[in-house]
Amino acid sequence: MTAAAPAPAHPQFSASEFALRAASQALRDAFAGDADGAVATPWQSYICNACGYIYNEADGDPDGGLPPGTRLADIPDDWACPLCGVTKADFSPYEAPTLEALRAQASAAPAASIRVRGEPGVVIVGAGRAGWQLAETLRQHSATLPVTLVTACAGDRYDKPLLSVAMARQLDPLALVSETGRDAAQRLGLTLLAHTHAVRICADTRQLRTTRGVLRYGHLVLAHGARAALPPGLSPKMCWRINHLDAYQRLRQRLGSQPKDVLIIGAGLIGSELANDLALGGHRITLLDTAAEPLARWHDQKAGPQLLDAWKDLSIRFEGGLQVQQVERVGLRYRVTTTSGRRFAADEVVVAAGLLPPNRLAQGAGLAWANGIAVDSTTLQTSVSGIHALGDCISIDGQCSRYIEPIARQARTLAAAILGQPVTPYEHRAAVVRVKTTTRPMTLH
Amino acid sequence: MNPADLPTQLHLDGALRGDALLAAVRHIAQGPLAAQVEAIDRTGYYPCAELQQLAAVGAMSAHLDSTAGPADYGLAIRAMAEASRVCGATGFMMWCQAVCGLYLQQSGNLALVGDVLERHASGAGMGGTALSNPMKSYAQIESLLLKATPVEGGYLVNGTLPWVSNLGPDHYCGAIAAVVEADGNTSQREVMFLLRCDAPGVELRECPSFSAMEGTGTYALRLKDHFIGTAEIMADPTRTFIARIRAAFVMLQCGMAVGITQGAIDSMWAVEAQLGHVNQFLEDRPDALQAELDALTARVMQLAQTPFDTSTDFFIDVLDARAHGAELCLRAAQSALMHQGARGYLMSSDVQRRVRESHFVAIVTPAIKHLRKEIARLSIEEMPA
């Protein structure tokens, strides 16, 4: 470490300004003593809530008729803020923060800043498995290509499938992160724009508009995944949807350590795994589905009966053939009513009714859409040049695939295409599904 | 049904529509308004007569349903752009006048949608909007500055609003106050009302000088036990009302950005013949900016088809179009100054004035930073608290 001169307390002021300030402070101190020489309350500063003007009692507001040394209490009610005209009623006590405190506050902000010059490189929207996998693959083949990752969340890396087995494996939800976004970005030498929302693609100028400014791109890759669907009529304020670490952590925090009644709407893969895991964690589960059995998609492999059999000793009540009509708050609990008039009470309601990719970005850019962002089955190119997509947000021949296995192969195809290397065409094939219901794991085809 | 219960049809004489309106606005902007631009900017001349001429041809009422035709937001925005191309401050005052008309018509209050709205739409009455603070309050950026205490037949309103534009001693504006409960606590409810500058308990106070906006009739408004009754109420409570008009409110501001950007591009072409040989080395050349502006204008015209769509996705789209307008306006004005060089730097040049106007588009509520913060807030998936 090199020896550095002590940092000035206020580096933005020159030495002569400091001397002036010191002199005026001495004057203020002299004013602050009362007639008997006793030290009175130090001068206070107040900030205008409307415009940010700072009134210092020592300085007063001579232009506004307040001589130096006028206390806030002594300011007449009709005095006006010299900048915006509000009265002293709209002022609050103010203590100037140190520059160090301000710097600390600014560095806690999540985002890196946007590069405005140089090669635009690759911009990836989404920092889930697909986004990070592509970034890793690109880096393996090019050490210099500028890569920017834009994500609405913190960008921390974790294995999403663990969200449905965390209780059984006694994993602390806060410890599911395997690498923070910041660390991964540093390791891979890329720019991570965390807590940043991609708002609109301007394909004609190759720009991505975000909530932290405009990014130019050479290649744009959409890897923003899908959102948990919420059936019409259900309020997002009352129903959890577990498709991200953040929501999962908050649900776990809410459930706390005491057993709770949890009602899960949807007994597909996610709903069944969550039911299994939360029951193993000691909660009482009611699992509803429109179909007569859980995992009805795999009816011909008898997945449902096997699962129900495995759950015999768990506190999971499955109710099939029910369509939820309404969720209401009743006191501190919720009442769930079905179209057939059945009612259930629960402490928390979780909806696991499938995934839908958000379509605003794609539609704004005029990308072809078929249940997801339509991509070429071999190149993963969208209908607009320079824009590609992979992972949960895409559809191939109208079919979506929401599994982990294809992502690495998709990333290899895309990275080669972006880097102008020989491309191994992506091959779309049916996925094998492993049901992580730990009481009886199953493999389905 | 009693005919008196039917909503009043806004009657407009002499208001033009379509290309005829745009031609008339261009004529006023490039004639009488252009003659006053320097006075508006340098000496704070409030262009009351020019605004009234614009209102008389229908420039600030195209977005209202009237005898002249159904509401046309695209036309209102293009009219504002034509004036802003010459004078950004005037474009801003047209927006103030236009949104005040929007509040009056959407209030549905029979005391406001009749004579008051008719005088307003024709320019006989002039007014603005004191919704900068409430809009930031709804976006969770600051808290409300006006407080309304319920009394017999209405409310007593107290507090001070900084920087309300298009005001004068006989002007008015739409304002919002937080309702204070009997126990002195602020409730979660607000009331929106027409605030007349000449009413008892209302005082206009001069503000310090504003860059590029000195002629916009901008004052602080101080209210002391100002009574508002049913004849002034625009919305009580306000949340549904604001949810309905917020996209229209923001969308109309795009007219300023489009016009100022176009003015900047005009001034780049103006020196191309002489300076093109050096200007070719600049970024943001006029043809590229024009293409971006045309694409943005087309996007805004599309949004203007459904100004009262209350969906979150639509509002995000409107906020982003407004942000894009501000960003483009900044780049175009800056680049115009680079293109013009010293001649654009003269205080008498519209090019340097437009740089200051573009800064205003970027900082007036909702400023670029507010727009981005609000888009981020609205983009987050809602979950149980």
Contact A394, A367 (CB under 8 A): no
Tokens of B105: 């018509």
Averaged over B177-192, what is the pLDDT? Answer: 87
Gap from B287 CA to chain A (nearest CA, Å): 13
B385 contacts chain A (CB < 8 A): yes
Query: Letter for the amino acid at A139?
Result: R
Nearest by CB to B207, from A85, A214, A240: name it. A85
Nearest by CB to A80, from B205, B373, B380: name it. B205
A80 contacts chain B (CB < 8 A): yes
Q: Pick from A48, A86, A252 the residue to mutate for testing the B interface (most B CBs within 10 Å).
A: A86
At B181, the pLDDT band (50, 70, 90 cuts) reads confident
Across the interface, do A83 and B208 touch by the CB < 8 Å criterion? yes
> Which chain B residues have a beta carbon less than 8 Å from that of A199?
316, 320, 375, 379
Concatenate the DSSP letters of all residues of A15-58 into one string: HHHHHHHHHHHHHHHHHHB-TTS-B-PPP-EEEETTT--EEETT
Three-class secondary structure of residue B363 per DSSP: helix
CB-hemisphere CA count at 13 Å for B266?
13
For A298-326, write each residue's pLDDT tens digit. Answer: 999 999 999 999 999 899 999 999 999 99
Nearest CA in chain B to A364: B317
Q: Pick from A84, A116, A207, A241 the residue to mutate for testing the B interface (most B CBs within 10 Å).
A: A84
Amino acid A164: pLDDT? 86
For A255-265, write each residue's pLDDT tens digit. Answer: 998 999 999 99
| Residue spans of alpha helices (H) in chain B | 18-28, 34-42, 48-56, 73-84, 88-107, 110-113, 115-122, 132-138, 239-252, 254-270, 272-279, 286-303, 312-340, 342-345, 350-363, 368-379
Three-class secondary structure of residue A207 per DSSP: strand
Contact A426, A375 (CB under 8 A): no
Strands A219-222 and A387-389: parallel
Across the interface, do A250 and B160 touch by the CB < 8 Å criterion? no
Q: Which residues lie below 8 Å from residue B21, measured CB to CB, with a gap of 6+?
A: B15, B57, B58, B59, B62, B75, B79
Around Cβ B283, how many Cβ atoms within 10 Å?
Answer: 8
Q: Which residues lie below 8 Å from residue A189, measured CB to CB, with a gap of 6+?
A: A139, A143, A147
Amino acid A98: pLDDT? 87
> Which chain B residues have a beta carbon less than 8 Å from that of A254?
384
Q: What is the share, in percent, of chain B residues with pLDDT greater than 90?
A: 88
Q: Residue A266: is its pLDDT beyond 60? A: yes
Across the interface, do B160 and A85 touch by the CB < 8 Å criterion? yes
Among the ranges given (A167-171, A214-218, A281-285, B6-10), the one the predictor scored with the smallest mean pLDDT: B6-10
Gap from A432 CA to chain B (nearest CA, Å): 30
Averaged over A61-89, what is the pLDDT? Answer: 92
Whole-number mean pLDDT of chain A? 88
Across the interface, do A90 and B145 touch by the CB < 8 Å criterion? yes
At A109, the pLDDT band (50, 70, 90 cuts) reads low
Tell me the C-alpha to C-alpha distance, in Å, between residue A132 and each of A150, A196, A390, B12, B301.
11, 16, 11, 60, 38
Tokens of B39: 């006075």
- Phi, psi (deg, nearest 5) at residue B159: 130, 175
Averaged over B158-174, what is the pLDDT? Answer: 95
The ipTM (two decimal places) reads 0.90
Whole-number mean pLDDT of chain B? 94
Amino acid A15: pLDDT? 46
For B93-106, write each residue's pLDDT tens digit. Answer: 999 999 999 999 99
Q: Residue A95: is its pLDDT beyond 60? A: yes
For B72-118, write each residue's pLDDT tens digit. Answer: 999 999 999 999 999 999 999 999 999 999 999 999 999 999 999 99
Averaged over B316-345, what is the pLDDT? Answer: 97
Higher per-residue confidence, A431 vs A80: A80
Helix-, strand-, coil-residue percentages of chain A, each rounded to 5: 30, 25, 50
At A110, the pLDDT band (50, 70, 90 cuts) reads low
A52 contacts chain B (CB < 8 A): no
> Which chain A residues have a beta carbon less than 8 Å from that of B143?
49
Q: Residue B62: is its pLDDT beyond 60? A: yes
- Phi, psi (deg, nearest 5) at residue B197: -65, -25
Amino acid B207: pLDDT? 87
B375 contacts chain A (CB < 8 A): yes
Across the interface, do A238 and B380 touch by the CB < 8 Å criterion? no
Averaged over A245-264, what is the pLDDT? Answer: 93
Averaged over A135-143, what is the pLDDT? Answer: 95
Report chain A's terminal Cα–Cα distance, integer Å: 60
CA angle A383, A388, A394 (to 5 degrees): 80
Size of interface A-B (CB pairs under 8 A): 96
Amino acid A11: pLDDT? 42
> Which chain B residues have a beta carbon less than 8 Å from that of A83?
162, 207-208
Nearest CA in chain A to B209: A83
A47 contacts chain B (CB < 8 A): no
Averaged over A259-272, what is the pLDDT? Answer: 95
At A92, the pLDDT band (50, 70, 90 cuts) reads very high
Nearest by CB to A85, from B133, B222, B372: name it. B222
Residue identified by tokens 């549905």 is B108
For B237-294, write each residue's pLDDT tens digit. Answer: 999 999 999 999 999 999 999 999 999 999 999 999 999 999 999 989 999 999 999 9
What b/e sequence results for B360-369 when a residue is b if at least 16 CB atoms lie within 10 Å of its CB, and e otherwise?
bbbebbbbbe
Amino acid A3: pLDDT? 39
> Which chain A residues have a beta carbon less than 8 Å from that of B316?
199, 360
> Which chain B residues have a beta carbon less than 8 Å from that of A86?
145, 159-162, 220, 222
Residue identified by tokens 């340097």 is B352
Contact B87, B40 (CB under 8 A): yes
Across the interface, do A204 and B291 touch by the CB < 8 Å criterion? yes
Q: What is the share, in percent, of chain A residues with pLDDT greater than 90?
A: 68
Nearest CA in chain B to A229: B381
B220 contacts chain A (CB < 8 A): yes
Strand partners, B128: B173
The conformational region for residue B330 under phi > 0 = left, psi -120 to 50 = alpha, else beta, is: alpha
Averaged over A225-246, what is the pLDDT? Answer: 93
Around Cβ B181, how many Cβ atoms within 10 Å?
Answer: 12
Residue identified by tokens 């001169």 is A5
Averaged over B129-141, what is the pLDDT? Answer: 89
Across the interface, do A50 and B380 touch by the CB < 8 Å criterion? no
Contact B142, B133 (CB under 8 A): yes
Amino acid B2: pLDDT? 54
Contact A95, A358 (CB under 8 A): no
CA angle A397, A398, A399 (to 5 degrees): 95
Gap from B168 CA to chain A (nearest CA, Å): 16
Nearest CA in chain B to A360: B313
What b/e sequence results for A295-326 when a residue is b if at least 16 CB atoms lie within 10 Å of its CB, and e otherwise?
beebeeeebbebbeebbeebbbebebebebbe
State the Cα–Cα distance between residues B146 and B201, nearest whole angstrom.
13
Nearest by CB to A240, from B163, B320, B384: name it. B384
Q: Which residues lie below 8 Å from residue B385, measured CB to CB, with a gap of 6+?
A: A237
Gap from A95 CA to chain B (nearest CA, Å): 19
B316 contacts chain A (CB < 8 A): yes
Nearest by CB to B383, from A195, A205, A247: name it. A247
For B228-244, write each residue's pLDDT tens digit. Answer: 999 999 999 999 999 99
A209 contacts chain B (CB < 8 A): yes
Nearest CA in chain B to A246: B383
B159 contacts chain A (CB < 8 A): yes
- Is the sign of the CA dihedral A308, A310, A313, A316 positive or negative? negative
Strands (E), A299-356: 316-319, 324-330, 333-338, 343-346, 348-351, 355-356
Across the interface, do A87 and B160 touch by the CB < 8 Å criterion? yes
For B288-316, write each residue's pLDDT tens digit. Answer: 999 999 999 999 999 999 999 999 999 99
Gap from A377 CA to chain B (nearest CA, Å): 29
Contact B354, B347 (CB under 8 A): no
Task: Return the closest-CA partner of residue A113 out of A139, A155, A150, A144.
Answer: A150
Three-class secondary structure of residue A6 per DSSP: coil
Contact B237, B189 (CB under 8 A): yes
State the Cα–Cα distance between residues A436 and B210, nearest whole angstrom.
65
At A116, the pLDDT band (50, 70, 90 cuts) reads low
At A24, the pLDDT band (50, 70, 90 cuts) reads low
Averaged over B9-22, what is the pLDDT? Answer: 93
> Which chain B residues have a beta carbon less than 8 Å from that of A249?
none
Contact B347, B368 (CB under 8 A): no
Q: Residue A190: is its pLDDT beyond 90? A: yes
State the Cα–Cα distance between residues B191 and A74, nearest whole angstrom.
33
For A165-187, write each residue's pLDDT tens digit. Answer: 888 888 888 889 999 999 999 99
State the Cα–Cα distance between residues A35 and A32, nearest whole angstrom.
10
A117 contacts chain B (CB < 8 A): no
At A4, the pLDDT band (50, 70, 90 cuts) reads very low
Gap from B65 CA to chain A (nearest CA, Å): 29
Nearest by CB to A152, from B133, B373, B379: name it. B379
Q: Pick from B296, B320, B329 the residue to mutate for testing the A interface (most A CBs within 10 Å).
A: B320
Q: Residue B27: is its pLDDT beyond 70? A: yes
Amino acid A88: pLDDT? 92
Q: Which residues lie below 8 Å from residue A376, measured CB to CB, with a gap of 6+?
A: none
Amino acid B142: pLDDT? 84
Gap from A387 CA to chain B (nearest CA, Å): 19
Q: Residue B322: is its pLDDT beyond 60? A: yes
B382 contacts chain A (CB < 8 A): yes
Q: Pick from A88, A197, A224, A359 the residue to mutate for testing the B interface (most B CBs within 10 Å).
A: A197
Contact B79, B47 (CB under 8 A): no
- Phi, psi (deg, nearest 5) at residue B2: -75, 125
Q: What is the share, in percent, of chain B residues with pLDDT greater than 70?
A: 98
Concatenate the DSSP letters of all residues of B272-293 into one string: HHHHHHHHTTSSS-HHHHHHHH
Q: Residue B14: is its pLDDT beyond 60? A: yes
Averaged over A238-262, what is the pLDDT? Answer: 93
> Which chain B residues have a beta carbon less than 8 Å from that of A247?
381, 383
For A404-415, write each residue's pLDDT tens digit. Answer: 889 999 999 999
A348 contacts chain B (CB < 8 A): yes
A110 contacts chain B (CB < 8 A): no
Q: Residue A394: is its pLDDT beyond 90? A: yes
Higher per-residue confidence, B360 vs A424: B360
Contact B166, B217 (CB under 8 A): yes
